Amino acid sequence: MKSNTNAVLIDNYFGLLRSLSSENKLKLIAKLSNSIINEDTDNEDIIDMFFGAFKSEKSAEELIKEIRESRTFNRTIEAF
């Protein structure tokens, strides 16, 4: 089933990209080729972006204070 889904996805992308100029198609081919060559290192970099500890020079107390001070309340009570 996944193979069929991928085939449909590829056909849809091709329909969108069909109208590109030959020059832009070649640029796209180059980018896709480079993404395959660099696939292993790119995946590690992307994963590292989403995981890990939060790094800051500020203490937890300073961060909490900053968050609380940045809150704004603009609710107005309407008369009935």
Angle at 51 between CA 50 and CA 55, to 5 degrees: 100
Kindly report the pTM of this predicted structure.
0.43
pLDDT digits (tens, 9 = 90+) for 21-73: 999 999 999 999 988 887 766 556 666 677 767 778 899 999 999 999 998 87
Q: What are the residue boundaries of the structural domains of the chain, listed by start? A: 21-70
- Distances, alpha carbon 48 to alpha carbons 5, 39, 42, in Å: 29, 14, 10
- Distances, alpha carbon 77 to alpha carbons 31, 70, 72, 73, 74, in Å: 56, 22, 16, 12, 10
Task: Return the axis-axis angle of helices 39-50 and 22-37, rounded to nearest 10°.
Answer: 80
